[in-house]
Amino acid sequence: MKEKIDDFIAPLCHESIDILYQDEHILLINKPTGLLSLSGKNPLNQDSVHFRMRKIFPEITLVHRLDFGTSGIMILALNKAINAKLTKQFQCRSVQKTYLSELFGHIEEDSGVIDAPIAKDSENFPIVKICEQSGKLAQSHFQVIARLRNPTRSRVLFTPITGRTHQLRIHSLAIGHPILGCDLYKNQHSEKLASRLLLHADSLAFDHPITGERMSLHCPCSF
């Protein structure tokens, strides 16, 4: 069956990108919600983190991406050689990331690991699916920070063990507690309970590609 084409057109993002750290090799930023990490194939989706930052740093490259609705910390390389060094850290999983999120309902357990393999869903692009047969290993650790009311929701700190596309979003749905504001992985009520995807890249720890120094940065959450 022919794969569906993503016809999503991103609304205009008026929020600016905040720089959290900068040196001659790397740049760490706070990506606003509602901004693409990389410009899409559709010319109407030109605005993105890469598009904006390249105007200031012509050689800049993305080391990783955040989903359109996800806000928070991203690392960018100021040249290709630095990108290669950072990419190796992501590949060997030495980069540690945490995310703050608010999920529908009250999660019973205080903490745990969601272990559910993820596969592409060619019939419903860009959605992915949980699939024991064809899915790749995907694991997410979660810790409940608070159980809140009005609406009933759980504030959670996620530490992804793997880094699959849409991993935290589909894993949350898989345990019956979709992320509030998520348009792809939702139940009857969860998307309407927030005006944005309540998922924020809270912290990032990695080895500086030149000095080897372990760096850990935190990015304040707006929700």
Q: Tell me the catalytic residues.
A: 67
Helix (H) or strand (E) holding 64, with range, is none
- List all residues 6 or more positions away from 119 whose beta carbon is below 8 Å from its beta carbon: 128, 129, 130, 131, 134, 135, 136
Helix (H) or strand (E) holding 47, with range, is none
Token pair, residue 154, equals 């759980």
Cis peptide before 220 (omega within 30 of 0): no
Helix (H) or strand (E) holding 91, with range, is helix 80-91
Distance CA 179, CA 201 (A): 14
